[in-house]
Structure 1
Amino acid sequence: MRDPLNGSPPEAPKPATIYDVAERANVSIKTVSKVINNLPEVSRLTRSRVQAVIEELSYRPNQLARGLASQRSFMVGLFCDAPAAGSGYIARIQMAILTMCQKEGYHLIVECIHATNQNIAQQVHALVAQSKLAGVVLTPPLSDLPTLIDALKATGTPIVRFSPEAAVPDVIDVDIDNCQAAYDITKYLIGLGHRRIGFIRGPLEHADARARYEGYCRAIAEADIPFLDEYCQTGNYTYRAGMLAGEKLLTLKDRPTAIFASNDDMASGVMASSIRYNLRLPQDLSVAGFDDAIFAHAMYPRLTTCRQPIADMAEAAFLALIHHGDKPIGPLTLPHKIIVRGSTARPPTA
């Protein structure tokens, strides 16, 4: 659409400034700044009025200016390994942290870091220098990558890690007890009467994958079930990996009556493979997963799984970052829960 007077397109409305907010709310610019930065010394009534005007004018603070004024950064980084970037696990962490950022007035930068990259230190130093990150959340397998951790610590950047294996000084860890969780779900399958239980572990470079494998092994050992190498397959946490591993397990002479996959993506791949071999779930084969992804209760039959409270873990990670240095924070271990649905039952009698 063109301006009828001069034939040129009309100018786009200018974004609201902090001066506009102050004028509309009838307060000083300093007061608006305190509200934006969640600083004290502002009454509840004044804070509510300023926040209402900010929403009314759709005011977006300039993050760089905001950081310079308060000597704080309002940018949080989420680092993930490139192959894992497309997984539902990473997407759920990203969405949960993004929600917290929006709630608290922060911005999120997502960066894919190749664990095999020889120039990680240079990449990290450049990124931190450009973005002035308030902190970084690391996901597996980056959680246990010394080169990356050392590079971030050298820049003074606070770090929170998801599901690491070994503790690192001055780094906060957020996790569940992966070993116990895998033990619990394997014991549940044993309790149903299964003794031929297949297991699909995740990538061996992931600490959580190794812990879940340990939990599976401990449960079958306690039940005096012989450990069979052919009942254990390895995947990379993807649907396709679950299909391939499922085919190997289902074509064994004495195929498993139950298969426990280390995440829901691989469990859904196993369920797809079972169709190829005309197996009914759960009458002929029980399948269990891990994570409680969104699709776990949308597929048929609905998937028995271990619920990992990813949203709560991400929220805890974010709060640990922005309050870093306020008080010492140790490892944060959140509870898991076994969710029993229709994909598991007693083994077939034949």
Structure 2
Amino acid sequence: MKPRSTRRKGGGHTIDDVARHAGVSPMTVSRVINDERNVRDTTRKRVTDAIRELGYAPNQAARSLASAQTLKIGLLYSNPSAAYLSEFLLGGLDQCSRSGIQLIVEKCEPEVGEIVAIERLLASGVDGVLLPPPLCDSSIVIERLKTAGLPAVAVASGDPLPSVSAIRIDDQAAAEAMTRHLIGLGHRRIAFVRGHPNQTASRLRYEGYAKALGEHGLTVDDRLVVQGYFTYHSGLDAADKLLNLRHRPTAIFASNDDMAAAAIAVAHRQGLDVPRDLTIVGYDDTALASSVWPPLTTIRQPVAEMSREAVTILADAIRRKIDGQPPTATSELMDFALIRRQSDGHPPAGDDGDAPTASGA
């Protein structure tokens, strides 16, 4: 089978040729062509040199059409965490405003279903779609967008489908880091509140927790692992179960800040001091993490920055489509950080920290 030529008919070079010549991604070439600011000067020079050496000329007719029309990006959401959604919207709206892009927001109501929501969004004439969790993992939505020929970016999926671009953090490594931090403080009975099973990131966070325990000779105690759904209410239920155990945990690691904040509320209701009697930590570092008392130690997932970058990736994919370039799916991994505040500490004085070990002792 003959390999497909990357040249346009008539012998002209494509954006992919320029990218290979400059040693960068096609997205970077597009950013330089569109005079976007988030490109290093050295990289910009390599790209412009490659454009000059190859004699590359963008499809001006298509580019004129693209500049004459405002790009319309759709945001389809059904996230139960208002704090997470607020961070995501702020980032996306900011980048759309900077780039002159119109953002169309559509809510996926549980009683209506994904198909109805995505069809409403498609009917609005969007050029591409942002998919924050949990819709970043929806095969139904992603397949429908693929059928419609629209580019999409999945944000914060633990295992993104290959047909869409994706931006995320390493959820397993982040959960490992937090669990190691708690072990380093002396905790051995560390409870874990799982995230909603409809999100692949939930599995990776649990796996990171379990792996870190195993690395320190500890086994997962199933009594200390409870199911949550990324909602404040599910965090209340989970904390109630954990804090009513005969041997309650000395630390609770919740899979998002909403559930961690709920756990703090339950602890206070039971007369427990956080962190003197009980350590509680979260995940995401939304605004909620610093507004509860005590402020949460948490994993910072750069939600707003991920949303901004997702807009940039999506806009580039739309422009490539307008310019007649083949679709490509890119994947970016952003950094996370463990943010320590006042909700964590050493186990209570006199607590022996007994926990199952890998040998069963």
Q: Is the TM value for this pair above 0.5?
A: yes
- Shift in alpha-carbon separation, 1:314–1:133, aligned structure 2, 3 A: same
Alpha-carbon contact 2:193-2:238 (below 8 Å) kept? yes
Judge which range, 98-107 or 252-261, deviates more: 98-107
Tell me which amino acid in the other structure corresponds to 2:94: T
Give the partner amino acid of 1:283.
Answer: R
Where do 1:71-220 residues align within 5 Å? 72-81=69-78, 84-85=79-80, 87-114=82-109, 120=115, 123-128=117-122, 130-220=123-213
1:237-276 → structure 2 map (5 Å cutoff): 237-276=230-269
In the alignment, the residues of structure 2 paired with residue 256 and residue 111 of structure 1 have an alpha-carbon distance, to the nearest angstrom, of 41
Q: How well do the aligned residues superpose, as a CA RMSD in angstroms?
A: 2.4
Aligned partner of residue 266 in structure 1, secondary structure: helix
- Partner residue of 2:335? 335
TM-score of the two chains, using structure 2 as the length reference: 0.73
| CA distance in 2: counterparts of 1:218 and 1:92, whole angstroms | 30
> 222-231 or 280-289, which moves further after superposition?
222-231
Query: Conserved in 2, the CA contact under 8 Å of 1:78 and 1:108?
Result: yes
Which structure has the higher relative contact order (CA within 8 Å, separation 6+)? 2
**Matched position secondary structure for 1:323:** helix
Instruction: Give the aligned residue type for 2:340.
Output: V
Q: 1:119 to 1:276 in 2, by over 3 A?
A: closer
Residue 337 of structure 1: how far off its partner (Å): 0.2
Contact 2:109 2:117 in 1 (8 A): no
User: Equivalents in 2 of 1:69, 1:242: separation in Å?
Assistant: 46
What are the ranges of 5 or more consecutive residues in structure 1 without an aligned counterpart?
1-37, 41-66
Partners in 2 of 1:258 and 1:39 — Cα distance?
Answer: 50
Q: Gaps (5+ residues) in structure 2?
A: 1-32, 36-63, 351-361
Quote the offset at 1:164 in angstroms. Answer: 2.2
Residue type of the alignment partner of 2:348: P
Q: CA deviation at 1:165?
A: 3.8
Asked which structure has the greater CA Rg, the reply is 1
- The answer (yes or no) to whether the contact 1:287–1:344 under 8 Å persists in 2 is yes
Corresponding pairs, count: 284
Task: Report the CA distance between 1:169 and its aligned residue.
Answer: 3.5
Q: Are 2:277 and 1:280 aligned?
A: no
Does 1:347 find its partner at 2:342?
A: no
The change in CA–CA distance for 1:337 and 1:321 in structure 2 (over 3 A counts) is same
- Local SS of the residue matching 1:173: strand
| Percent identity for Structure 1 against Structure 2 | 37
